[in-house]
């Protein structure tokens, strides 16, 4: 398992493809798995790798809380696609981790089993909470205006970046390009959200992160369903 070399374009492409249908490296919440991979990436992925960039910006927002995120940090080779080998260069932190593993090898093995058990318990609790939720969920229909920088912005890529944002309680709908003047068109896109899970602030933060394509985002319409 692994992502190849996460400091190389090829490794970042593997990461981007892996996150195309996932919000996190493992499970449904940020964890030490995300921290381990985040620390191996040398900086924000380029804008054309929209899934990896969306994940990077999201995990970066947990920078002050990363030590408290659930799970146990493992070697990079324990994460990612099964058919890819990790070749990311090890730094000083990795060397320290290796030393710890050499010194406490058997304890780490037990800790991994404990981490696996805790993760399974959390997932079971998560599924239990979902099952107990009432059938009637408050939802809203939101129409967003996403404006590009100029008439040379690749609007197909801009829309791809916007739709790459995934979250529990968020469903993207129809879209169209609307002229705003001087040959510039804005993307008008519909989405349905569960009110207690997704808000306009979260959407604006994640959409605006694609700043190579996006100049601004506005809420054009907001209706309760």
Identify the pLDDT of residue 134.
Answer: 63
Instruction: Report the greatest alpha carbon distance in the chain.
Output: 67
Domain boundaries defined on the chain:
9-78, 139-224
Per-residue confidence band for 91, with pLDDT thresholds at 50, 70 and 90: very low
The Cα 119–Cα 104 span in angstroms is 22
Q: How far is CA 204 from CA 78, 95, 179, 211, in A?
A: 33, 39, 21, 12
pLDDT at site 139:
93
* Least confident segment among 90-99, 139-148, 189-198: 90-99
**Mean pLDDT calculated for residue range 97-105:** 45
Task: Count the alpha carbons within 13 Å of 66 in the hemisphere toward its beta carbon.
Answer: 16
5-9, 107-111, 112-116, 178-182: segment of lowest average pLDDT:
107-111
pLDDT one-digit tens code per residue, 113-135: 778 888 888 888 877 776 766 66
Q: Tell me the per-residue pLDDT of 164-198, one tens digit each, with 9 for 90 and over.
A: 999 999 999 999 999 999 999 999 999 999 999 99
Of 190, 194, 148, 186, residue with least CA distance to 170: 194
Structure tokens at 174: 């129809």
C-alpha–C-alpha distance, residues 211 and 158, integer Å: 10
Beta bridge partner(s), residue 222: 142
**For residue 188, what are the contacts with CB-CB under 8 A and spacing of at least 6?**
143, 144, 145, 146, 175, 176, 177, 178, 220
**Residue-level pLDDT at 189:** 96
The pLDDT of residue 92:
37
Return the pLDDT at 111.
Answer: 58
CATH superfamily of 139-224: Ribosomal protein S6/Translation elongation factor EF1B (3.30.70.60)
More confident residue, 99 or 62: 62
| Under 8 Å between Cβ of 138 and 196 | yes
Residue 143: predicted pLDDT: 96
126 versus 140: which is more confidently predicted? Answer: 140
Cβ(24)–Cβ(135) under 8 Å? no
Q: What are the angstrom distances between the C-alpha of 21 and each of 25, 52, 87, 134?
A: 11, 11, 23, 27
Across residues 90-94, what is the average pLDDT? 43
Give the separation between CA 80 and CA 1, rounded to whole angstroms.
6
Instruction: Quick: pLDDT tens for 33-90.
Output: 999 999 999 899 999 999 999 999 999 988 888 888 988 888 888 888 877 776 765 4
């Amino acid at each position: 398992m692994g992502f190849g070399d996460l400091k190389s374009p090829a490794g970042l492409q593997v990461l981007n493809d892996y996150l195309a249908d996932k919000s996190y490296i493992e499970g449904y919440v940020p964890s030490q798995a995300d921290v381990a991979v985040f620390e191996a990436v040398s900086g924000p992925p380029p804008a054309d790798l929209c899934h990896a960039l969306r994940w990077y910006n999201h995990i970066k927002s947990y920078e002050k809380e990363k030590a408290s995120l659930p799970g146990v940090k493992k070697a990079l080779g324990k994460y990612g696609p099964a058919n890819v080998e990790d070749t990311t260069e090890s730094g000083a932190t990795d060397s320290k981790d290796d030393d710890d593993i050499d010194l406490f090898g058997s304890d780490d093995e037990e800790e991994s089993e404990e981490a696996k058990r805790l993760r399974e318990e959390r997932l079971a609790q998560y599924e239990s909470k979902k099952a107990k939720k009432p059938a009637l969920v408050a939802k809203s229909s939101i129409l967003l205006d996403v404006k590009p920088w100029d008439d040379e912005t690749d609007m197909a890529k801009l829309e791809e970046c916007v739709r790459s944002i995934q979250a529990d309680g968020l469903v993207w709908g129809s879209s169209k390009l609307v002229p705003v003047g001087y040959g510039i068109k804005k993307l008008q896109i519909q989405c349905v959200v569960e009110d207690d899970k997704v808000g306009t602030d979260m959407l604006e933060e994640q959409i605006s992160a694609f700043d190579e394509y996006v100049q601004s985002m506005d809420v054009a319409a907001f209706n309760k369903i």
